[in-house]
Structure 1
């Protein structure tokens, strides 16, 4: 009977886990190990690009890739994990409840936007967290052209001045003008609790962010937060009301709630504590990767972030190591000491940084060229060719050279 490695999730962490596990099994020429991926769709949703227009194009099919390397795809949404029985309950494509057994489980179920319960965010705000939400926002923006001219129609408020908020806001002037016309009197406002433009991104990069926002006409409301949202705009914590037909929520991310079904320690974002091999601490047969793993990325106190940059490497290591445990060979401890960022700043360009202190290396057109290459090439799945796809899943390949 075949040993079964079950991967929950087909995002960056899940896809690379499946390929990497299959790679090591292939290297050892074993035919008694099956790798399966359980996910709602056999596609990689390119989440880092959901702030862009045309979100419906931002998903890469995985069916042919999985077929050519021998990964079994199970279409469904995981609901329950029984650690003792080694089973996962899921809802299949027809809506029926099913159960699948595993010998080794890799949780790669990702993360989602953490929306506050006290605000009418779900009712009145948009977000770019998932592809359906990004498509909903695009539909709304296009419909603005049918509304009467008003300042509220032409105003977008972005709640949160972190990575997603900045990329969403700086892209918005071009998106709005494409819909409302080049002469439209548009207004884009970032609401952030920080005391300085781009404060959440660090001192070195904030200069570029401020310059880009000034040139693009993106305003900041600093030292305040969104207190409430209604159909006509937002009220800030200082009592100010901003008329806006479009409010985009970008603050806070939390790991998949499936992590709560694993008896183990979690961090404040719900991520499971894992060891150097990405095995969940306290569990013999369960690994975690991508956005659900709280993993040390180096030996000086840094931990992987909820980014595709880290998820790709985490996935390659998790897949390799879960297979290594079955095969009885040495694992490859996860290590990702080099950290970079490439922040898109709309028509101004982009800014590329290196190191955890985000030292600026490229700006404007040079930064944009790199960002475009990352977004359209580097983060996409490998071609559906068995040899090259498995070779690309080697955990020793650096995500950032």
Structure 2
């Protein structure tokens, strides 16, 4: 029986893992089918999750069938439900719920992250921008608001969470609301953040720029008083205040896909699997983890990967190379991503671009927005469906951020 590299997930990390593995097999003269590279995912498409705060969410997808076919990756349509690390077998269900099993020589978990849903009364009344279908549902809801009688609640959006996603979502909302309700609509957009400052995970570096942008966009912030309940007419805060709102968008962080719980290994507080520098799960010879389910060192200074597209792409290239190298007996290339940057979209105001873990501001306003647009519309999309170009783009030493 031929050997098989099985990848669960076709997101940024999963896609690049598949291409990275095929790249090394090709270079070693082993792309002859003796080692199969297979991907299990619900659809052969990449959902562009970093853009789901924008409008036209249903369009934020890119096809992968042609790329996979051209490079020799087998795609299996299904949803992985269980993993047997003793038997090296994955069980998955197809679109009709019919279960099947598939064995692996090496497994790569690239199942991404899911929205954190705390135990809060009425969370069912909230929207989110975590997955493509969720973001599309929010967009349709905003479009339908214009058919409702004008009230304060109709004209108000509450964004729960003032982190990266919450800020980007809120910065887009004034424009999106006015598009639905009219340019002269008396709208209100409020970020509710439990911390004492907006963007707590972004640190103090870019905060003055963020605060200026939100203020000029008309976005309010409520700090130190998180939401304790939600209903169809608004939210209640811990301080007792009530905000009437027909639209509540939940953005309070993500956790690793819960399938990681099936792997008996050390995990961090987000459920991510601890991996070594080659992205192999600690304590498991045949399992690698990448993207949002991997807790990996980015350098030798104690920094760890963030749950972001920026890290997922390079993690995928590295995990693809190293899982194939492990099968072939080739020297691995340890994962490293020394340079860390952020580019936060601030809606019509612009953006803010920072470099380093201390987030030193390098660009703001329209100049940063130009960079953000390039990232969102070009850099994070799959390579062209040409075998040579796709494999070359999967080089684990490729420098994406110079």
TM-score range, shorter chain: over 0.9
Aligned pair 1:137/2:112, yes or no? Answer: no
- Give 3-state SS (helix, strand or coil) of 1:116's partner: coil
The residue aligned with 2:244 is 243
Give the C-alpha shift of residue 94 in structure 1: 3.1
Q: Name the counterpart of 2:151.
A: 150
1:98 to 100, 120, 131: 100
Q: Which residue of 1 aligns with 2:352?
A: 351
**How do 1:1-400 and structure 2 match up within 5 A?**
1-30=1-30, 31=32, 32-121=34-123, 123-400=124-401
TM-superposed deviation, 1:119: 2.6
User: Following the alignment from structure 2 to structure 1, what is the Cα–Cα distance between the partners of residues 42 and 193?
Assistant: 34
CA distance in 1 between counterparts of 2:156 and 2:53 reads 17
Normalising by structure 1, we get a TM-score of 0.99
Q: How many pairs does the alignment contain?
A: 400
Considering only aligned residues, what root-mean-square deviation do their CA atoms show, in Å? 0.7
* DSSP 3-state at the match of 1:203: coil
Give deviations 1:81-111, integer Å, cap 9, x for gaps.
Answer: 0001111000013321110111100000000
Alpha-carbon distance in 2 for matches of 1:132, 1:234: 24
Cα deviation, residue 249, structure 1: 0.5
Offset from partner CA, 1:183-240 (integer Å, 9 cap, x none): 0000000001222333332111001101101110000001110011011100001000
Report the TM-score, using the length of structure 2 for normalisation.
0.99
In 2: Cα distance, 1:76 partner to 1:21 partner: 21
Contact 2:163 2:198 in 1 (8 A): no
CA contact (8 A) 2:47 2:61 kept: yes
Q: 2:160 touches 2:192 (CA, 8 Å); kept in 1? A: yes
Q: Secondary structure at the match of 1:251?
A: coil
Following TM superposition, where does structure 1 have runs of at least 4 consecutive aligned residues deviating by more than 3 angstroms?
197-200
- Separation (CA, whole Å) in 2 of partners of 1:3 and 1:163: 41
CA shift for structure 1 position 2: 1.5
Alignment gaps of 5+ in structure 1: none
CA contact (8 A) 2:115 2:254 kept: yes
